[in-house]
Chain A
Amino acid sequence: DAGVTQSPTHLIKTRGQQVTLRCSPKSGHDTVSWYQQALGQGPQFIFQYYEEEERQRGNFPDRFSGHQFPNYSSELNVNALLLGDSALYLCASSSRAGEQYFGPGTRLTVT
Chain B
Amino acid sequence: AQTVTQSQPEMSVQEAETVTLSCTYDTSENNYYLFWYKQPPSRQMILVIRQEAYKQQNATENRFSVNFQKAAKSFSLKISDSQLGDTAMYFCAFMKPNTGANSKLTFGKGITLSVRP
Q: Are A42 and B101 in contact (CB under 8 A)?
A: no
Task: Knowing A42-B91, A56-B103, A96-B102, say if A104 contacts B109 (CB, 8 Å).
Answer: no
Q: Are A102 and B44 in contact (CB under 8 A)?
A: yes
Q: Which residues of A contact B28 (CB under 8 A)?
A: none
A98 vs B98: C-alpha distance when bound (angstroms): 12
Give the A-B pair count, Cβ closer than 8 A.
67
Task: Knowing A45-B105, A45-B106, A56-B104, say if A99 contacts B50 (CB, 8 Å).
Answer: yes
Q: Are A104 and B43 in contact (CB under 8 A)?
A: yes
Q: Which residues of B contact A90 (CB under 8 A)?
A: 45
Task: Knowing A42-B110, A50-B100, A55-B100, say if A100 contacts B105 (CB, 8 Å).
Answer: yes
Q: Are B44 and A104 in contact (CB under 8 A)?
A: yes
Q: Which residues of A contact B100 (CB under 8 A)?
A: 50, 55, 96
Q: Which residues of B contact A33 (CB under 8 A)?
A: 102, 104-105
Mark interface residues in B29-56 (1 if CB within 8 Å of A CB, else 0).
0000001010000111111001000000
Q: Are A42 and B45 in contact (CB under 8 A)?
A: no
Q: Are B107 and A43 in contact (CB under 8 A)?
A: yes
Q: Which residues of A contact B (CB under 8 A)?
A: 31, 33, 35, 40-45, 48, 50-51, 55-56, 58, 88, 90, 92, 94, 96-105, 107
Cross-chain pairs A/B with CB under 8 angstroms, 22 sampled: A31-B102, A33-B104, A40-B110, A42-B4, A42-B108, A42-B109, A43-B105, A45-B105, A45-B106, A48-B101, A48-B102, A50-B100, A51-B101, A56-B104, A58-B104, A92-B105, A94-B102, A97-B102, A98-B102, A104-B42, A104-B44, A105-B44
Q: Which residues of B contact A (CB under 8 A)?
A: 4, 35, 37, 42-47, 50, 91, 93, 98, 100-110
Which 9 interchain pairs have the tightest Cβ spacing?
A42-B107, A50-B101, A102-B45, A45-B104, A94-B102, A55-B101, A31-B101, A42-B109, A105-B43
